[in-house]
Amino acid sequence: MDFLMMQNISETNKKLSVLLKEIRSCRVCEQFLPLGVNPVLKASSQAKILIVGQAPGTKVHQTGIPWNDASGDKLREWMDVDKETFYDENQIAIVPIGFCYPGKGKSGDLPPRKECAPLWHEKILKLLPNLELILLVGLYAQKFYLGKENKKTLTGTVKAYKEYWPKFFPLVHPSPRNKFWLMQNPWFEDQVVSDLRLEVHRLLNRNP
């Protein structure tokens, strides 16, 4: 790596560090957050993979560690990576649609707050020049990033995952609440997860 490239990486990381500090100080939707403000995300300009999920749950809110729950365990299993790799921000960036815990609804957590993604995502992406793959985990990530390219249902979008390559990879959310969906759609783990692992291994230079 030559000096100029190293200098560019250093400058981009400095800009990203400033931006992340600004995000972690954000109070735009504080009045709507029952547990208060605690934006949870990780990123480095060197990351090749970006995971875009929904919003932190209560455990993630309490610990400040993204995907630090049963959903995270399942996602790591699908990707076939250990925690050390998963949390290495130089390899994998983690930026949800909503950065803070949104609260509880009638049938689970509320949707991610609508303020975060339009306000911050574009700014973050501009400072992630090495991204080669964005995992869109769940409906809200797919709606924001795919827009009109979404199919009529989440199942349809996930089933058509190859249409969104090489930039995006839509996934069903790995929440335990979706265990029945996974049982009803065995093609997901047979085909989609298999291709996901191959792509993750390739990008992270891992042997399957």
Q: Where in the chain are the domains?
A: 3-203
Tens digit of pLDDT for each residue in 75-128?
Answer: 999 999 999 999 999 999 999 999 999 999 887 899 999 999 999 999 999 999
Q: Which two tokens stand for residue 7?
A: 């200098």
Per-residue tens of pLDDT for the chain, all 208 residues: 565 666 677 889 899 999 999 999 999 999 999 999 999 999 999 999 999 999 999 999 999 999 999 999 999 999 999 999 999 999 999 999 999 999 998 878 999 999 999 999 999 999 999 999 999 999 999 999 999 999 999 999 999 999 999 999 999 999 999 999 999 999 999 999 999 999 999 999 854 4
For the chain, where are the E strands, in sequence order?
A: 49-52, 92-94, 104-105, 108-109, 133-137, 168-171
Which residue's entry shows tokens 């995971």? 51
CATH of domain 3-203: 3.40.470.10
For 76-174, where are the E strands, in sequence order?
A: 92-94, 104-105, 108-109, 133-137, 168-171
> Angle 65-144-12 (CA atoms, 0-180°, nearest 5)?
60
Residue 4, pLDDT score: 62
Q: What is the rounded distance in angstroms from the CA atom of residue 98 to the CA atom of residue 205? A: 30
Does residue 51 sit in helix, strand or coil? strand
Residue 208, pLDDT score: 47
Rama region for 171: left / alpha / beta (φ>0; ψ in -120 to 50; rest): beta
Amino acid, res. 88? D
Cis amide leading into 66 (omega within 30): no
